[in-house]
Amino acid sequence: MCGIVGILGHKAVAGDLVDALRRLEYRGYDSAGVATVENGHLERRRAEGKLKNLEARLHNEPLQGRAGIGHTRWATHGRPTENNAHPHMNERVSVVHNGIIENFGELKKALIAKGHRFETDTDTEVVVHLIADEMQKGCDAIEATRRTLASLRGAFALAIIFAGEDDLMIAARQGSPLAIGHGKGEMYLGSDAIALAPFTDEITYLEEGDWAVLRRKGAIIFDRSGKQVERVRTKSVATSLLVDKGNHRHFMAKEIHEQPEVISHTLANYLDLAEARVSMPDLGIDPAGIRQVSISACGTAYYAGLVGKYWLERYARIPVEIDIASEFRYREPPLPANGLALFISQSGETADTLATLRYCKSQKQRVASVVNVRTSTIARESDAVLPTLAGPEIGVASTKAFTCQLSVLACLTLALGRARGTISSAQEEELVHALAEVPRHIATLLRNEPSYEKLAHDLAKAKDVLYLGRGSSYPLALEGALKLKEISYIHAEGYAAGELKHGPIALIDENVPVIVVAPEDDLFEKTLSNMQEVAARGGRIILVSDASPDRAGCELEAHVAMPKVHPFTSPLLYAVPVQLLAYHTAVFMGTDVDQPRNLAKSVTVE
């Protein structure tokens, strides 16, 4: 992990490599480096921490090579030190790598037995030694790389340059995304099109198992078997402008405030407001015949899927199974004929989700994906794509992508419910109008943002925070807890409110804030009884609800007032206060909100 760039250019490329890496900062990283071919030999500069440290190093020790590779690393093997930072190299070859080489231990042992000396704790370094070993036997750079790739197991994307080869770069993709950019007498390589947008909009995405030989005049692509293949060139829609924070302090704040707009865009893609109807892409399966929907996702996307389960079962009356992708893929559950497999991913490159998709395809399931990147691997391997229109999400903690995923799932629910006859035309019209009101309600909530700052000051003093919710508010409790712990580093847990008395209530005392997500729906009275159990044990209750605080029947530390909305759309609205609480708590504590420690935006390893 986590970002790769490469350039075969006509001038010194180090500066452009760093600029491209900056566009990949949203993925999260803990070190960075570049390497270039300098007068026939290889040179590199690396730095621990942020790109500004690498820039300072390059300012003092510039590189002039016209062929180079760069990398931002998120540690998987070895600590995030300069020594473990990419590129890894010896005098003959330099490599950057996303992913994991699963058999690196046995490869390393064999190489050490041959006399190779390793300088880092990473799995990537074995690639350098394997290629060098093959070259020592007399192979040229291309053949040495081909042989090396055949010996690797795992998920990886690789970019490789060689001493004495100013017009050669080799790329390989297995499990981790990689895109080739075509310029005028120049060639580019990147983890995604965003990195390459300033240089070109002509993109070729490598497919699974592909490897490519790049020269300034073009690229030759080979498939897993070694057969030369043609891959489609596409016009990238990635913006050539570097995304900035605007008037906001952090990308996360900007993205929270973009939600009214991006939800509007997403809903407009699926709703005919004039007719009050939903219009979805053809899934290629008869909705009336769907026996089961199997949802799989990771992290925040999993919680979106959990809301989708509540919606699909209640309104479309379809049985839904949902599992975390890393569990689903190894559980290998039996799947029914006429089943729909639904995958949710912001990046469309999440390794576990992609592996689960391939399992479902092997089980003859119809595959649909909810993704924010329409050119992603998950999108390309799906039978039907249901895009979100959130735009680039830079903050590692997902906000606008989550609510856009919910928007798509809500529209899918209505479309399937109508097709199956489980909701009437009048109900569809009612729910479409309710969805159309969501952006306005969220805009209203965001105008009250200052009120969250005081709550955040109190939350920042806590060591543990609990979130409670029932029904479709239960996933919001899970999401709220995830947001708080991933950016503020406060321990937080989300629970189904009814489960509290079966163990978690033992954690309650006067030092534990309990955030209760409780719209005034048909489950509200049940949630109130759980809230009173908390109050009886001295817990500090923050109620997020459209109900009057007088209805609580117990003392509240705070009441976050919510607008009255249809219960169907409440998850979309109630996502916002839990985002704001986490954001302002993290800001008050001084953590790195946009790039929290140990996390990456796009997780392309298991």
CATH T-level topology, domain 447-606: Rossmann fold (3.40.50)
The least confident of 97-111, 136-150, 479-493 is 97-111
pLDDT of residue 197: 86
Under a CB-based contact definition with an 8 Å cutoff, are residues 554 and 567 in contact? no
Share of the chain above pLDDT 70, in %: 96
Of residues 601 and 36, more confidence is placed in 36
The string of DSSP codes covering 47-59 is EESSHHHHHHHHH
CA dihedral over 386, 387, 389, 392, signed as positive or negative? positive
Model confidence over 473-505: pLDDT tens digits? 999 999 999 999 999 999 999 998 888 888 878
The least confident of 21-25, 308-312, 414-418 is 21-25
Q: Report, at the CATH architecture level, how domain 2-235 is classified.
A: 4-Layer Sandwich (3.60)
Which tokens is 214 given? 């790049």
Mean pLDDT, residues 140-161: 92
Model confidence over 448-459: pLDDT tens digits? 888 898 899 989
Q: Which residues of 409-446 are buried (b: 16+ CB within 10 A; e: fewer)?
A: bbbbbbbbbbbbebbeeeebeebbebbbebbebbeebe
Mean pLDDT, residues 64-90: 87
Query: Is the whole-model pTM more than 0.95?
Result: no
Distance, in Å, from the CA atom of 464 to the CA atom of 513, rounded to the nearest integer, reads: 7
Inter-CA distances, 273 with 268, 415, 437, 587, Å = 8, 14, 11, 39
pLDDT of residue 603: 53
Mean pLDDT, residues 156-184: 92
Q: Supply the mean pLDDT for the chain.
A: 90
List of long-range contacts for 589-592, beta carbons under 8 Å, 24+ apart: 589/460, 589/488, 589/489, 589/490, 591/487, 591/488, 591/489
pLDDT of residue 246: 63
pLDDT of residue 136: 94
Under a CB-based contact definition with an 8 Å cutoff, are residues 211 and 149 in contact? yes
pLDDT of residue 102: 76
Catalytic pick among 2, 298, 360, 404: 2
CATH T-level topology, domain 245-436: Rossmann fold (3.40.50)
- Annotated catalytic residue 601: yes
Mean pLDDT, residues 66-92: 87
Under a CB-based contact definition with an 8 Å cutoff, are residues 499 and 526 in contact? no
Is residue 28 very low, low, confident or very high in pLDDT (cuts 50, 70, 90)? low
Element (H, E) at 541: strand 540-545
pLDDT at 286 over 90: yes
State the residue for tokens 């409440």. 570
The least confident of 14-18, 21-25, 109-113, 437-441 is 21-25
Do the two domains 2-235 and 447-606 of this chain adopt the same fold?
Answer: no
- Count helices and strands (H / E) in the chain: 19, 27
The least confident of 28-37, 181-190, 570-579 is 28-37
3-state helix, strand, coil in the chain (%, to 5): 40, 25, 35
Catalytic pick among 108, 309, 483, 601: 601
Distance, in Å, from the CA atom of 302 to the CA atom of 325, rounded to the nearest integer, reads: 8
Query: Residues 6 or more apart from 201 whose CB is under 8 A from it?
Result: 235, 236, 238, 240
Model confidence over 195-227: pLDDT tens digits? 888 899 899 989 888 999 999 999 999 999 999
97 beta partners: 158
> DSSP assignment, residue 91?
S
pLDDT at 604 over 70: no
The least confident of 100-109, 352-361, 568-577 is 100-109
pLDDT at 239 over 60: no
Domain ranges of the chain: 2-235, 245-436, 447-606
Under a CB-based contact definition with an 8 Å cutoff, are residues 120 and 88 in contact? yes
Question: Where are the strands (E) in 54-101, listed by range?
Answer: 67-73, 88-89, 93-101
Model confidence over 341-399: pLDDT tens digits? 999 999 888 888 999 999 999 999 999 999 998 888 899 999 999 999 888 888 888 99
State the residue for tokens 């490869």. 107
- Annotated catalytic residue 564: no
Model confidence over 258-285: pLDDT tens digits? 898 889 888 888 988 778 899 999 999 9
State the residue for tokens 């704790």. 121
Mean pLDDT, residues 510-529: 88
Distance, in Å, from the CA atom of 49 to the CA atom of 31, rounded to the nearest integer, reads: 5
pLDDT at 1 over 50: no
pLDDT of residue 241: 47
Distance, in Å, from the CA atom of 196 to the CA atom of 186, rounded to the nearest integer, reads: 12
